[in-house]
Chains A and B, each alone.
Chain A
Amino acid sequence: MAKKPVRKAAPKPRRPAARLAPQRAKAPARDQRPQLQPLVRPPKATASEMDLLRELCNAIAVSGDEGAVRRIVLDAIRDHVDEVRVDALGNVLAVKRSKRSSQRTPRLLVAAHMDEVGFMLTGHESDGSLRFELVGGVEERTLLGKPVLVGPKRLPGVIGAAPVHLLKDDRRNAVTKVSQMRIDIGVDSADAAKRWVKMGERGGFTTEFAVVGPSLRGKALDNRLGCATLIELLRAPAVYDFDLHAAFTVQEEVGLRGARVVAYAVDPACAFVLDCTPARDLPSSDDRENTQYNSRLGLGPAIYISDKGMISNDRLVRYLQQTADAAGLPYQFRQPGGGGTDAGAIHLAREGVPTVSVSVPGRYPHSPVMLARTEDWRNTVKLMRLALENWTPQVLKR
């Protein structure tokens, strides 16, 4: 399944391979319309950057069982950092030291969670099907009629549905509860099922990563986009005046548990959290304005000001904003409100850590398939690169 990540120098940037067929219907009279000149050309991902994201997205790493993604991360960063270790919970902690690294060198933490929502197998039925419970906030209404992969061998199964033909009207409108769903792997007895999968093993969605025109499509873009961004930050040749601590965290989806111990261990001067935030930028069917979109695709990195878990550090928010403005990068403020990231745990570590989150907006998180824009991801990478390159302790001064 997982092929080794490419370690060679990145080839010259070019367009992603799997874009839409080139013979698109001719854009009518494009040259006759006023051309909007973007401030900066939308950055593209190189083939190797896209391959790494593909590999990360296709791996299954349900909270508490992040091994598959951890292995990819370790392979991808090992040659680019000064130290790397895996802690007691499974977080990957890597350090890129400053040239004059000492005890007094400031430590910056950049964190991205590796885990994804999914399910855990909780029992065998006599007919061979499997009971399961959800891990993290899976969108339950997206489960019925989907293929899944279960156990470390990625055994295929399906979550079936009673045929609509047999349902009475009231049942057609009833949401099926997870407790009523079963995973069908094709065997017809509990004993046969036990030979293939054990209770406690995890399961995830099957959607293969794909580049779809200007968009990225796959499962678990939340938060493999953050992981891919953080890997790129570590692979960048830059050396900073601070020690860069990168944390690929576990168990974000079940309560920010990895990030909490990471922040304690690193005790950073400040922290940036990379995640993927919902873009609920869909139309309403009755022409009401959508005022709760949270974030929108195509408007750039979403900078958090406040969420359910925290109020972002105002100086870091301003710093990111100034960095983006100076470089002409697009950005948006994520609407304040519910939800949260690892930042909620990190900012409370020890005596407190100034923290901010930056997310790539993504539609349909916690479902079998998400959509995000390549451009938003690349602009997030660019913003974070600049934010690290230009960071000084002055940023945090009141």
Chain B
Amino acid sequence: METLLLSHLKELTTAPGVSGYEHHVRDLIRAAWTPLTDEPHTDRLGSLWAIKHGTGAKPRPRIMLAAHMDAIGLMVSQVEGEFLRVVPIGGIDARVMPGQLVTVHGREDLPGVVAEPPAFLLPKANREGVVPLSELLVDTGLPADTLRVSGLVKAGDVISFAQSPVELQNELLAAKSLDNRASVAALTVCLETLKSRPPVWDVIAVATVQEEVGLQGARASAFALHPDLAVAVDVTHGSGPASKEYADKTFPLGGGPVLGLGPNIHPGLHAALKAAADRAEMPYTVEPMPAHSGTDAYAIQIARAGIPTMVVSIPLRNMHTPVEVLSLKDVARVGRLLAEFIAGLSADFMNTLTLD
């Protein structure tokens, strides 16, 4: 299981899938989910739905599991001689950019390097402190005429990170785009577990698009699917050596699923997930989310007439860097927790769900 999960995660994180350009990773997810579900479908914005029909009598209640498959990246704004100027797609951290390996998705995929120009080439205001992304360049190692004359790269071409996954000790994995491919993998684990525990409810696993640029995919999918319940699965900040001073906003790696609590979360659903974790004898922590959960749940909750929504997270270090780190155990546990919760859903669960 763990080795399968590791190779699944490595494959998912290696695939490009910058917000709005998720087709590579979508193909991989469709391949993984097709044998586990009844009807994979790609919606108008590009989100992938995989429906597993329940055993209950029709009309069956349905639960939506949303994990965004898009990743942060860059976009070419200008070709300047041998170099590319870029703009961010999603929350790029300029501090970690110089020296990163990237892939420029031009007319063909080109390896590139993010370069910080020497100080004397920067405007005076940017010579101290972190150099903003607008002053950084991407270098493909190709001469200017190759880039321009053959139209190999144009403004609007997408750039993804290219750092390879690295296995650390203690079953930790470091990779780019674990935000949020880790949650996609957790949904795979959930669907696999449900094979032997067929649920009463319809389960719709959704790999959403464009979360990093405003939760667009989740909003459209939630409207279209109109689920009775929804769980957004995402990553949250993991405690670690770089985040010591944020102890109250980080959660331990290997500490199990992190259960969100706040206005974005239905309290009854929160309690039900807790109960499921207890049934599975699984450790978990609780994450206070005073306002915006920062996940697809924020869009899903207010779809149509409103949907009871929950956030389950995987603790992740160094979020939005190409060396995001998580524990494989937490990924597997989130998958099993969701399966435990779903397998326990009775046909009349909605009648028992209360706010108080």
Q: A166-B243, A283-B137 are in contact. List 18 more A-B contacts (CB 8 A).
A: A28-B150, A144-B96, A147-B166, A158-B318, A160-B243, A163-B318, A164-B91, A166-B246, A172-B93, A182-B241, A184-B242, A185-B169, A192-B169, A207-B101, A212-B142, A217-B141, A285-B122, A369-B99
B237 CB-CB contact with A under 8 Å: yes
Within 8 A of B (CB), among A273-308: 280, 282-286, 288, 290, 292, 297-298
Chain A residues positioned under 8 Å from B82 (CB to CB) = 297
B355 CB-CB contact with A under 8 Å: no
Known contacts A24-B150, A28-B150, A371-B113: A145-B322 contact under CB 8 Å: yes
A-side interface mostly? loop
Which of B120, B150, B172, B320 touches A164 (beta carbons < 8 Å)?
B320
* Shortest Cβ gap from A192 to chain B (Å): 7
Q: Is the CB of B150 within 8 A of A282?
A: no
Instruction: Name 15 A/B residue pairs within 8 A (Cβ), A-sorted.
Output: A25-B150, A127-B241, A160-B317, A162-B242, A163-B318, A175-B130, A184-B240, A188-B170, A213-B140, A214-B143, A280-B117, A283-B83, A285-B122, A369-B101, A371-B141
Q: Is the CB of B111 within 8 A of A217?
A: yes
A35 CB-CB contact with B under 8 Å: no
Which of A21, A125, A173 touches B241 (beta carbons < 8 Å)?
A125
Q: Is the CB of B152 within 8 A of A164?
A: no
A74 CB-CB contact with B under 8 Å: no
* Shortest Cβ gap from B67 to chain A (Å): 18
Within 8 A of A (CB), among B215-268: 237, 240-246, 249
B80 CB-CB contact with A under 8 Å: yes
Q: Is the CB of A196 within 8 A of B174?
A: no
A14 CB-CB contact with B under 8 Å: no
Chain B residues positioned under 8 Å from A128 (CB to CB) = 241
Q: Is the CB of B325 within 8 A of A282?
A: no
How long is the Cα–Cα vector from A116 to B318 in the complex, in angstroms?
A: 27
For chain A, the count of residues having a C-beta within 8 Å of the partner chain is 70
How long is the Cα–Cα vector from A166 to B250 in the complex, in angstroms?
A: 10
Chain B residues positioned under 8 Å from A210 (CB to CB) = 111
Which of A182, A185, A285 touches B135 (beta carbons < 8 Å)?
A285
Chain B residues positioned under 8 Å from A186 (CB to CB) = 168-170, 172, 325
A249 CB-CB contact with B under 8 Å: no
A187 CB-CB contact with B under 8 Å: yes
A129 CB-CB contact with B under 8 Å: yes
* Shortest Cβ gap from A137 to chain B (Å): 13
Q: Is the CB of B325 within 8 A of A20?
A: no
CB nearest to A374 among chain B residues? B141
**What sequence of 0s and 1s flags, for each residue 161-198 of chain A, a beta carbon within 8 Å of any chain B beta carbon?**
11111100000111110000110111110001000100
Which of A28, A139, A163, A371 touches B98 (beta carbons < 8 Å)?
A139
CB nearest to A286 among chain B residues? B123
Q: Which 8 A-B pairs have the closest CB atoms?
A: A186-B168, A145-B96, A215-B141, A142-B99, A129-B241, A186-B169, A145-B321, A160-B242
Q: Is the CB of B321 within 8 A of A144?
A: yes
**What sequence of 0s and 1s flags, for each residue 120-154 of chain A, a beta carbon within 8 Å of any chain B beta carbon?**
00000101110000000001011111110000000
For chain B, the count of residues having a C-beta within 8 Å of the partner chain is 69
A156 CB-CB contact with B under 8 Å: yes
A236 CB-CB contact with B under 8 Å: no
Which of B118, B137, B237 touches A165 (beta carbons < 8 Å)?
B237
Total number of A-B contacts with CB less than 8 angstroms? 212
B95 CB-CB contact with A under 8 Å: yes
A118 CB-CB contact with B under 8 Å: no
How long is the Cα–Cα vector from A159 to B94 in the complex, in angstroms?
A: 15
Which of B137, B169, B242, B243 touches A196 (beta carbons < 8 Å)?
B169
Chain A residues positioned under 8 Å from B244 (CB to CB) = 127
Q: Is the CB of B166 within 8 A of A184?
A: no
A367 CB-CB contact with B under 8 Å: yes
How long is the Cα–Cα vector from A160 to B240 in the complex, in angstroms?
A: 9
How long is the Cα–Cα vector from A371 to B83 in the complex, in angstroms?
A: 13
How long is the Cα–Cα vector from A128 to B244 in the complex, in angstroms?
A: 13
Q: Is the CB of B99 within 8 A of A368?
A: yes
A340 CB-CB contact with B under 8 Å: no
How long is the Cα–Cα vector from A174 to B95 in the complex, in angstroms?
A: 8
A23 CB-CB contact with B under 8 Å: yes
Chain B residues positioned under 8 Å from A215 (CB to CB) = 141-142
* Shortest Cβ gap from A393 to chain B (Å): 41
How long is the Cα–Cα vector from A172 to B83 in the complex, in angstroms?
A: 25
Q: Is the CB of B130 within 8 A of A147?
A: no
B288 CB-CB contact with A under 8 Å: no
A97 CB-CB contact with B under 8 Å: no
Q: Is the CB of A157 within 8 A of B168?
A: yes
Which of A21, A139, A160, A282 touches B318 (beta carbons < 8 Å)?
A160
A88 CB-CB contact with B under 8 Å: no
B139 CB-CB contact with A under 8 Å: yes
How long is the Cα–Cα vector from A368 to B323 in the complex, in angstroms?
A: 14
B121 CB-CB contact with A under 8 Å: yes
Within 8 A of A (CB), among B313-331: 317-323, 325
How long is the Cα–Cα vector from A326 to B111 in the complex, in angstroms?
A: 37
Q: Is the CB of A163 within 8 A of B174?
A: no
Q: Is the CB of B96 within 8 A of A166?
A: no
Q: Is the CB of A363 within 8 A of B95?
A: no
Chain B residues positioned under 8 Å from A196 (CB to CB) = 169
B289 CB-CB contact with A under 8 Å: no
